[in-house]
Chain A
Amino acid sequence: TQLLEQSPQFLSIQEGENLTVYCNSSSVFSSLQWYRQEPGEGPVLLVTVVTGGEVKKLKRLTFQFGDARKDSSLHITAAQPGDTGLYLCAGALKGKLIFGQGTTLQVKP
């Protein structure tokens, strides 16, 4: 059983479309992080959300932390081929950073 469930697992869209990726848990996290991983590379941190209800923006990416701090979402506006990659949410639990299973995003030109 995954502590952090991401959906969808795969997403293939056309350039210019919007999308949302979800990260859900039955556990409460004090913070959640989002990482992006490109082929042949390690994950790179995009953002950390800390406060329930918090919204953070990174250019065309909008991250939200649920009010109950059990879930988070990543919304991408007007996706571009450069957004292609594996998106991972992660939360700290018992001194370990636990990752969701990831969402593979492909943005076609």
Chain B
Amino acid sequence: DTAVSQTPKYLVTQMGNDKSIKCEQNLGHDTMYWYKQDSKKFLKIMFSYNNKELIINETVPNRFSPKSPDKAHLNLHINSLELGDSAVYFCASSQFQVVPRQVNSPLHFGNGTRLTVT
């Protein structure tokens, strides 16, 4: 009965490889996100999708390509992995888009995917 689940939990790969992280939410939420948490624990938004439509693309290199086949799924594909891509990637969802005063839309996070690029 996990709310937001992402796989894999750990991903170790070499520079130059291509990898994907999958995310699914069973909360019936309209909006999904990808966040990157660096080694200093800073959480930075990468992408946001609302009802399968991309609404935020936060100047992320185009080696990162999100795909939302339906509103319950948001996957992240990364091409030509670099050392600096090593981080923990979190998928999240919210009932509505994050807008000021939308106080009933907290984010529900998955447990993260720790990506290590060697």
Please give the residue numbers on chain A whose beta carbons come within 8 Å of chain B beta carbons, in ascending order: 29-31, 33, 35, 37, 40-45, 48, 50, 86, 88, 90, 92-93, 95-99, 101-102, 104
Contact = CB atoms under 8 A, between A and B. Distances in A.
Interface stretch (B13-21, B67-75, B77-85, B93-101): B93-101
5 contacts: A31-B100, A45-B106, A50-B101, A92-B98, A92-B102
Contacts of A98: 45
Question: Lowest 7 A-B CB distances belong to which pairs?
Answer: A42-B109, A30-B100, A45-B106, A99-B43, A102-B41, A97-B98, A101-B42
Give the interface size class of chain B. Answer: 20 to 34
Given A35-B107, A93-B100, 8 more contacts: A42-B90, A42-B92, A45-B108, A48-B103, A95-B98, A96-B98, A98-B45, A99-B43
A100 to B, nearest CB: 9
A40 B112 contact: yes
A93 B43 CA distance: 15
B48 interface: yes
B109 A88 contact: no
Given A92-B102, A96-B56, A43 B109 contact: yes
